[in-house]
Chains A and B, each alone.
Chain A
Amino acid sequence: MTDEPIIEFKHVSKTYQNGTLGLKDINLSIPKGQFLVVVGLSGAGKSTLMRTINRMHDISTGDIRVDGESIVHLKGKELRGLRRSIGMIFQNFNLVKRSSVQRNVLSGRVGYYSTWKSTLGLFSKDDKQKAIEALQRVGLGEKLYSRADELSGGQQQRVAIARAFMQDPKIVLADEPIASLDPLTTESVMDDLKRLNEEFHITVIVNLHSVSLAQRFADRIIGLRDGELVYDEPISKVTEKDLEAIYQPVSIVKKSEVQA
């Protein structure tokens, strides 16, 4: 692992159109190859933070750099180029349920194709082979021709990981990837993400609710509360008590402060 940052947040704030504060003066530097876990209550801004990296959300002020280049003002083709290099995993898998697994996995590759070629489904032999390998990597080779909605939730999420892998990403963003899964499949999905990180040195950022999983898989944990970065420690220094504090609702914290 090198210390050269792949993602840098500089004084990043985001206010939504209706006036709600999304992010508040975030400063953060993420080195290449890190497995970063973001914890915090729902609505703390975890999803927003994640989506500012691939510009699915725009920020109000500040600057974000990916690989040393500011991404805030990217447009059109350049923006799509950025997104192509960043894979994303979603809580609800976001597969096209009625399409085959093969087509879903291949759809991760569209950023490398012209509109008309991809529209006609003219994927190269290499990419079709790559899709098979990506699927085998997550242990679902035999599902290549199945329809996505025939798969269990855990299997669907692993197909989504294969789809992200098709992009040849430098970074993978996983937004609550296990929130809709049962404990058993949770393990395999987290393992798949960890393998992406270890074998291919892909920087992985995961939003999680589970503190114990965060401690098992992360290199570093950051905590958000009401859009503010309130916690940032490497895994060696993380304690159970710190994490509990992040999950305290603010109202209770303030009350206890008043009482103290």
Chain B
Amino acid sequence: MNIVPTRTFAQKYHVKTIAWLTLFVLLVIGTAKMTGVDFVMFFANFGQFVVLLQQMAKPDWQYTSLVVQPILETIQMALIGTTVGTLVAIPFSVLAARNIVKNKFLRGIIRFILNLVRTLPDLMLAALFVAIVGIGPVAGVFTLAIFSFGMISKLFYEAIETIDEGPLEALQAAGANKTQLVVFAVIPQVFNYFVSYFLYTFEINVRASTVLGYLGAGGIGVYLQRSLDQFAYGQTAIIILGILVVVLIIDGVSNTLRERLL
């Protein structure tokens, strides 16, 4: 019982760990080759990077007044986009919840669609919608609607799956149909979570919406692209500062509201 066990060769020389480590090192080297990593050049050109930072460190304060309107437009886009996305997400999340829809097949299809939507990066959606509806904030709204739809439907159906089953059973026993179940037993239990997730998604969308304009989808991103194209880094700095302030304010408000809700 009390004897030190003997280890196999593989255990003694940590073969598994070394194999993993080797694989990892090879991956790092391989990916560095593939992406043309060249830190010598990076540090050689570091001066240019510093010059750029220096230019950005001198914000063009006069530009501030011009930035306010597009920043507000960004928030408007995020607000409408998130709301549309949420409204569409609600029925989908109910259909994807294990405790509401017992049909495995239907649930599987819905979840598959949701997973597909979630794989699409926001800027890619923006490029597509700019091609479809043209340059402007409408493309941004569509982008954010799809983007938040994917995110919020997952958060929502997970929230629905954690609810207390008691009231559901009670209503079923009283002869309620599916719609009545959702209205009287599900919604009251998850309402606060829904609002909280809505606010959370709104925060993320405000962040995302600030760059959508880079591809023409409205908001402050349009100005971001213009300033970068014109090498007006003082203006870029103002825009980034503006984004920072807005994101901090929205995060702060949303966090306070969410804390009060939960």
Chain A residues packing against B (C-beta within 8 Å) = 132, 135-136, 139-142, 144-145
Residues of A near B11 (CB, < 8 A) are 145
Bits for B1-12, please: 1 = Cβ < 8 Å to A, else 0: 111110100010
Residues of B near A132 (CB, < 8 A) are 4
In the assembled complex, how far is the CB of residue A125 from the closest CB belonging to chain B, in whole angstroms?
14
Residues of B near A144 (CB, < 8 A) are 4-5
Please determine whether B3 and A142 come into contact, CB atoms closer than 8 angstroms.
yes
Residues of B near A142 (CB, < 8 A) are 1-5
Interface of A is mostly: helix
In the assembled complex, how far is the CB of residue A159 from the closest CB belonging to chain B, in whole angstroms?
14
Residues of A near B5 (CB, < 8 A) are 142, 144-145
In the assembled complex, how far is the CB of residue A151 from the closest CB belonging to chain B, in whole angstroms?
14
In the assembled complex, how far is the CB of residue A140 from the closest CB belonging to chain B, in whole angstroms?
7
Please determine whether A140 and B7 come into contact, CB atoms closer than 8 angstroms.
no
Bits for B90-126, please: 1 = Cβ < 8 Å to A, else 0: 0000000000000000000000000000000000000
* 13 more A-B residue pairs beyond the given contacts A141-B1, A142-B2, with a C-beta to C-beta distance below 8 A: A132-B4, A135-B4, A136-B2, A136-B4, A139-B1, A139-B2, A141-B2, A141-B3, A141-B4, A142-B4, A142-B5, A145-B5, A145-B7
Residues of B near A135 (CB, < 8 A) are 4
Q: How far is the CA of A145 from the CA of B4 in the complex (A)?
A: 8
Q: Among B1, B4, B5, B7, which residue has the most Cβ atoms of chain A within 10 A? A: B4
Interface of B is mostly: loop
Chain A: CB-nearest residue to B12: A145
Q: What 3 A-B pairs have minimum CB-CB distances, sorted nearest first?
A: A141-B2, A144-B4, A141-B4
Q: How far is the CA of A136 from the CA of B1 in the complex (A)?
A: 10
Interface bin, chain B: under 10
In the assembled complex, how far is the CB of residue B37 from the closest CB belonging to chain A, in whole angstroms?
29
Q: How far is the CA of A67 from the CA of B205 in the complex (A)?
A: 65
Residues of B near A139 (CB, < 8 A) are 1-2
In the assembled complex, how far is the CB of residue A161 from the closest CB belonging to chain B, in whole angstroms?
15
In the assembled complex, how far is the CB of residue A11 from the closest CB belonging to chain B, in whole angstroms?
47
Chain B: CB-nearest residue to A138: B2
Q: Among A139, A140, A141, which residue has the most Cβ atoms of chain B within 10 A? A: A141
Q: Among B1, B2, B7, B11, which residue has the most Cβ atoms of chain A within 10 A? A: B2
In the assembled complex, how far is the CB of residue B160 from the closest CB belonging to chain A, in whole angstroms?
34
Q: How far is the CA of A141 from the CA of B5 in the complex (A)?
A: 8
Q: How far is the CA of A142 from the CA of B5 in the complex (A)?
A: 5
Chain B: CB-nearest residue to A133: B4
Please determine whether B4 and A140 come into contact, CB atoms closer than 8 angstroms.
no
Considering the complex, which residues of chain B in the window 63-94 have a beta carbon less than 8 Å from any beta carbon of chain A? none
Bits for B52-64, please: 1 = Cβ < 8 Å to A, else 0: 0000000000000
Chain A: CB-nearest residue to B1: A142
In the assembled complex, how far is the CB of residue B2 from the closest CB belonging to chain A, in whole angstroms?
4
Q: How far is the CA of A144 from the CA of B11 in the complex (A)?
A: 13
Q: How far is the CA of A142 from the CA of B3 in the complex (A)?
A: 5
Chain A: CB-nearest residue to B6: A145
Q: How far is the CA of A141 from the CA of B3 in the complex (A)?
A: 5
Q: How far is the CA of A144 from the CA of B7 in the complex (A)?
A: 10
Chain B: CB-nearest residue to A137: B2
Residues of A near B2 (CB, < 8 A) are 136, 139-142
Q: How far is the CA of A136 from the CA of B11 in the complex (A)?
A: 21
In the assembled complex, how far is the CB of residue A247 from the closest CB belonging to chain B, in whole angstroms?
38
Considering the complex, which residues of chain B in the window 1-56 have a beta carbon less than 8 Å from any beta carbon of chain A? 1-5, 7, 11
In the assembled complex, how far is the CB of residue B5 from the closest CB belonging to chain A, in whole angstroms?
5
Considering the complex, which residues of chain B in the window 221-255 have a beta carbon less than 8 Å from any beta carbon of chain A? none
In the assembled complex, how far is the CB of residue B27 from the closest CB belonging to chain A, in whole angstroms?
23
Cross-chain pairs A/B with CB under 8 angstroms, 10 sampled: A135-B4, A139-B2, A140-B2, A141-B1, A141-B2, A142-B1, A142-B3, A142-B4, A142-B5, A145-B5
Residues of A near B7 (CB, < 8 A) are 145
Q: How far is the CA of A21 from the CA of B11 in the complex (A)?
A: 52
Q: How far is the CA of A139 from the CA of B1 in the complex (A)?
A: 8
In the assembled complex, how far is the CB of residue B10 from the closest CB belonging to chain A, in whole angstroms?
12
Chain B: CB-nearest residue to A141: B2
Q: How far is the CA of A141 from the CA of B7 in the complex (A)?
A: 13
Residues of A near B4 (CB, < 8 A) are 132, 135-136, 141-142, 144
In the assembled complex, how far is the CB of residue A146 from the closest CB belonging to chain B, in whole angstroms?
9
